[in-house]
Amino acid sequence: MKEIANEILNVNNSEGSKVAILVIDEDHEATGGAETYDQVISRKQERVVEFANTHGLPMWFVYGELPTRKLLMNKVTNKALVSEFHKFYANAFLVDPFDPVEYPLDKQLKDAGITHLVILGHHMEACVKETAMSALKLGYGVITSMDTLRQNCLFFYDQCSWKNVEGVSFYESLDAEVKHLRDESVAAPSSSSWNDPLPVRDAHEDILDYNAEITFTDFDFDINCETTEAQKSTASSEKQGSQYTYEELRKLLESEVFIEPGSKLKEQVYPNLVHLLNAIKDNADFTTIKEIAKQGIERNSTIKENNLSSDTQHVTNRLTIFQTILNANTLEEALDSIHQKYPQDSQTQNNESTSNMTLK
C-alpha cells in the first residue's frame, strides 16, 4: 500500500488536485481464522481506508446489491469523511433514467473538488472496471492496485484488462501472501462465456447501457452450406421448442413468487435473478445458465443464513429455482421440475399465454 499512499500524497500536494477514495460493492470481513484470499484483500483495503481516515481524505462507498452489511464503511471512525451512494447499474456513474437521483455521483465528486479517485472493490472485471472507465471519460485520474481488487472468477486475477488504459495508475501485487492465496484459490477455467472478462471500452467512448453485463450471441450456420429440407425442418422445430422453453422459464422468473411484495425486479436488489433472466433472454447455453444459478444459491443462502431478509419464503423460492436449474441436465428438464414445484404459478402463465393467443 506504500505506492498508493505515496501517489495520494503527491497528487494532493499538486495545486488544484484532490484525491478521494471510491469503494465499490465491498462487504467482506477481514478477520477470522486461517485467512482466505478474500480476507487478505479486505485487510489491504482496510489499510487504505485507515490511511484515508488518518489523513482526512474523503471517501465514497458505493453499493448496489441489497441488503449489505457495509463492513468496510463502518471501519471509518471520522464519519464526516464518509459519503454513501447507491448505484443502479454496474457503472456507479450511470443514473437510471426511470428513477433519477437528485445528486449523481459525478456531481457529488465535482462539488467536492475531486480530481483523482483511488478505486477499491469488487469485482475487478465488472462493476469496478465499468466505473473506472467512466471515471476516466469524466476527467478523473484513477489509482488502484491488484492488492485491493477482488473478483468472482479468480483465474483471471492476473489479467486485469484495463490496467494499461491511459489515465490509470495501476500497481501490481508485490505481496507474496496475496499471490500465494490467489494461486491456491484459482478455479479451473470454465467453458462458459459468463466467466470471461468484459471487453475494455475506450475511456472516451459514449456508453449507453451498463445494465447487461454480458451479451450472449448464438452462432447458427452450416459450415458446409449443405442442408437438406428435412434437416432444416427438424432444426426449425427444435429451435421453436427451445425458444418456447426459454420463454416459459422467463415468464416464471418474472412472477411474484420470487420477489418480495412491493419490490421491483432490479439488478441492485436481485442481481442473480436479473443475470439469469438476461441469459435466458439471450438464449444462453445451459452451462452458462447453471453457472449463474450456482452463484444465486451462494448469495441467497448467505441472505437466509444471516437473516438479512425478513421475508424468508421468497428467499426460499429463489433458492429452490436456482437449485432446480443446477440439478437439471437440460433446460427442458429444469422447466418441467419448476412446473411441478410451482404448479399454480405455471397455470397462471399458461392461462396468460392462452389469453394472448385468443386476443391475436
**2 exposure class (CB count in 10 Å sphere: 0-12, 13-18, 19+):** exposed
The β-bridge partners of 85 are 62
The three grid cell numbers given for residue 237, joined into one nine-digit string: 422445430
Residue 240: phi and psi, rounded to 5, are -65, -40
Q: Distance between CA 64 and CA 25 in Å, rounded? A: 7
Q: List, in sequence order, the alpha helices (H) in 112-228.
A: 127-137, 176-185
Which helix (H) or strand (E) element contains residue 62?
strand 59-63
- Residue 180 one-letter amino acid: H
Is residue 22 within 8 Å of residue 117, measured between CB atoms? yes
pLDDT score at 351: 47
Name the residue ranges covered by the structural domains of the chain: 2-195, 229-359
For 2-195, the fitting CATH number among 3.40.140.10, 3.40.47.10, 3.40.50.300, 3.40.50.850 is 3.40.50.850
pLDDT score at 159: 61
Residue 326 CA: distances (Å) to CA of 93, 300, 323: 34, 14, 5
pLDDT score at 98: 53
pLDDT score at 135: 93
Q: Each residue's pLDDT tens digit in the chain (360 positions)?
A: 788 899 999 999 999 999 999 999 876 555 555 556 667 777 788 889 999 999 999 999 988 755 456 777 888 889 999 998 887 777 888 765 555 555 589 999 999 999 999 999 887 878 888 899 999 999 999 999 888 887 754 444 456 788 899 999 998 865 555 555 555 554 333 333 334 444 444 443 333 333 333 333 333 333 344 444 544 444 444 444 466 777 777 777 777 777 777 667 766 567 778 888 888 777 778 888 888 888 888 877 777 776 654 557 888 888 888 888 988 888 888 888 887 887 655 444 444 443 333 333
